[in-house]
Amino acid sequence: MGPALEWVTAAYAGRPQITMPYGLGDTTDLTGALAVLKLAGLPAVVESQDTIRLADGRRARFPTLTQRPRAEAEAAVELLLLAPRTVTTTQIALAEQTETVLLVDVDRRRVWVDGKQVLGVLERWKDAAPIYVTFAVARILAVNGATFDKMVRAGLTAGQVDDALARLGKRVHRTDIGWESRKVGGLVDFAIACYPGPGGVRTQWTSDLPLPEQAERLISAGCRISGRAISERPGYPLITKRDMPYRLVAFTEHELDMATLGFEPDTVGYSGTELILPADPTISLTATHAGYSDRTDDIITANTLLRADMRNDDDTKALEEVRSQLWFLADTGYDLRWNLPN
């Protein structure tokens, strides 16, 4: 927008006497949506100020604040048009469960109608699962490497391991004693920084109990603690003990009765416990492989610190401590495997 005009400002002086809804008068640009619909084999024309008509005769109305006068008869419409530049998972779920929704993803050129996707790349959980397995294999190999059989014994199938190794490509290589990172420590930073996140659902809780006691209760209920809170756990030297964090992060594989454990929903979000029920099924697998029963593996712990909503200096120091220790272990492990005298 250009510079403000004085006479426009003066016209608004003392506020307009007419109350107007926010967004009233905005013009909806459907240029991109119409182009994507044409790609999907659903050419359409603009029929009225809030309706388009598909080539098959069906009409789709898009939401607008400019409503028709009540006395004016409305033409029947068969579809509700949603055409954001980028769609959300909620909108996709609505389109897949409601046959009368016509959803157009302008940026990624995807279209849903009649309860199914008719244009664009299908994205489903089955497509995400191999990615999570790939990062699990990267975490297993990052420090000491592993044999193919050892990765299978950790809980993966042979097919999953084969696929993961292929996806990791030149980041890994096969040696006489198994698989390991091609570059010493190379998988450490990759697995920490490039992990896409656990997915799933996050809820925030609060309790009058001190955070260490909250952690104990969650661990007793089968959770795994992650992030800086594990510095309170016995026998964990990777993070220097500092003041407890403002939020305790815990992963669970199943539904928990948080009220019975002494928690209530946290509406503030600056303290208490963050409970994650992840979509990633490998978090517990790699923690068990690392020998932990009460916490996530060190790489997931580092990623939790990296992805913290409000990372402070202590979190950053803790992240560097975990990363440095992993690099040290990877370097030491390599020397023990390859540089000792025969």
User: How far apart are the C-alpha atoms of 138 and 185, rounded to whole Å?
Assistant: 11
Q: CA 190: distance to chain centroid?
A: 17
pLDDT digits (tens, 9 = 90+) for 95-151: 999 999 999 999 999 999 999 999 987 776 667 889 999 999 999 999 999 999 999
User: Which pLDDT band, with edges at 50, 70 and 90, does 242 fall under?
Assistant: low
Sheet holding 59-61, edge to edge: 44-48, 51-54, 59-61, 79-82, 101-105, 110-113, 116-119
- Per-residue pLDDT, averaged over 192-200, amounts to 94
pLDDT digits (tens, 9 = 90+) for 154-188: 999 999 999 999 999 999 999 999 999 999 889 99
pLDDT digits (tens, 9 = 90+) for 198-222: 999 999 999 999 888 999 999 999 9
pLDDT of residue 312: 80
Structure tokens, 20 = 């107007």
- Per-residue pLDDT, averaged over 335-342, amounts to 79
3 state DSSP class of 325: helix
Structure tokens, 7 = 């006479």
User: How far apart are the C-alpha atoms of 237 and 232, rounded to whole Å?
Assistant: 10
User: How far apart are the C-alpha atoms of 101 and 309, rounded to whole Å?
Assistant: 34
- DSSP per-residue codes, 259-302: TTTT-EE-SS-SSSEEEEE-S-TTHHHHHHHTT-SSB--HHHHH
pLDDT digits (tens, 9 = 90+) for 8-56: 788 777 766 677 777 777 888 999 999 999 999 999 999 988 899 999 9
pLDDT digits (tens, 9 = 90+) for 278-336: 999 999 999 999 999 999 999 999 999 999 877 788 888 889 999 999 999 999 988 88
